Amino acid sequence: MKWYGVMPAITTCFDEKLAVDHGFMTRHVHWLLANGCAGIIALGSLGEAATLTCVEKDAILRNITLSAKPAPAVAAISALSTSEAVALAKTAQQAGCAALMVLPPYVYRGDWREMKAHVAAIFRATPLSCMLYNNPVSYGTDFFPEQIAELAAEHENLAAVKESSTDVRRVTAIRALTGDRLQIFVGVDDAIVEGIAAGAVGWVAGLVNAFPRESVALFDAARAGKWDEAFALYRWFLPLLRLDTVPKFVQLIKQVQEETGTGSARVRPPRLEVTGAELEDTRAKVATALAGRPSPLSTAFPARA
């Protein structure tokens, strides 16, 4: 598993009856990879994993794994209980996933001893390469750099960290403690350039679902130190990237997909599609972005066969 580059946390597409639309997701994966993405991450927070059944998760992973080949498919592992998370990790391995992105437990905010036991059980469940997902803003639990270093020392298959604390100093802190042992990914869209400048080598991205080539161009420019080019793209992209950092980020990113013809705004309850001022504001941001869209442009989304 090569942990590098732009890896979309893909949305889960639903049809008119809110069933998973596997055909659309296949086309979406093909399009994202054709526009330069390095791999695909399924069943994350943006993928509405908490609303999916175990059977649906298995079917999504099998479809995404086949659709992404030869690029890697990564399964996000999240659950209320450790046993359920371990079972999902084993399902991901059986489905052919190349790696796992390991989340803390939903709902319960444990202490370090409990968090460590939970993620360690997942690391031990399969030999797959793992990325630890740290998002204290969303999950209320924080893996501090010293704790991440401890996990890396004890688990050989922990290879990467998705750092979503919004504090780019965490990137340098983790690197100071682990050197090149872990590959660090930025997990919040509106901190990507700062994160790369601090030493991150990857981006688990959200708005990439609608703007893949533009996302890859921003990442590549920042990694190459082409700062004028990077900041020009960043200024254009930031109003949309900031949609990834608010409570309704799932609805908003899916609405962006709807507006750009790259997906549907449908979400599963308890989420509801945005309406009123939220909808108009999102549409205005998309219209402004499309009017000033820089090169290179993402290719047209493929029509249903």
- pLDDT at position 136: 83
Map residue 297 onto helix, strand or coil.
coil
Task: Using alpha carbons, select from 159, 182, 164 the residue that is nearest to residue 98.
Answer: 159
Name the residue with tokens 């004028």.
228
Quote the distance between the C-alpha of residue 106 and its chain's center.
17
**End-to-end CA distance of the chain, in Å?**
32
- pLDDT at position 282: 98
Quote the distance between the C-alpha of residue 121 and its chain's center.
22
Name the residue with tokens 């290879």.
159
Give per-residue pLDDT as tens, 114-171. Answer: 999 999 999 999 999 999 999 888 788 899 999 999 999 999 999 999 999 989 999 9
Give the chain's residues under pLDDT 70. Answer: 305
CATH class of 5-291: alpha beta
pTM: 0.96
Burial class (CB in 10 A: 0-12, 13-18, 19+), 135: buried
Sequential DSSP letters for 40-83 = EEESSTTTTGGGS-HHHHHHHHHHHHHHHTTS-EEEEE--SSHH
What is d(CA 132, CA 177) in angstroms, rounded to the nearest whole number?
16
- pLDDT at position 305: 61
Map residue 259 onto helix, strand or coil.
helix
Residue pair 11/47 in contact by the 8 Å Cβ criterion: yes
Burial class (CB in 10 A: 0-12, 13-18, 19+), 127: exposed
User: Could you tell me the residue ranges of all domains in the chain?
Assistant: 5-291
Tokens of 34: 């054709």
Give the total residue count for the chain.
305
Torsions phi, psi for 228 (to 5 deg):
-60, -45
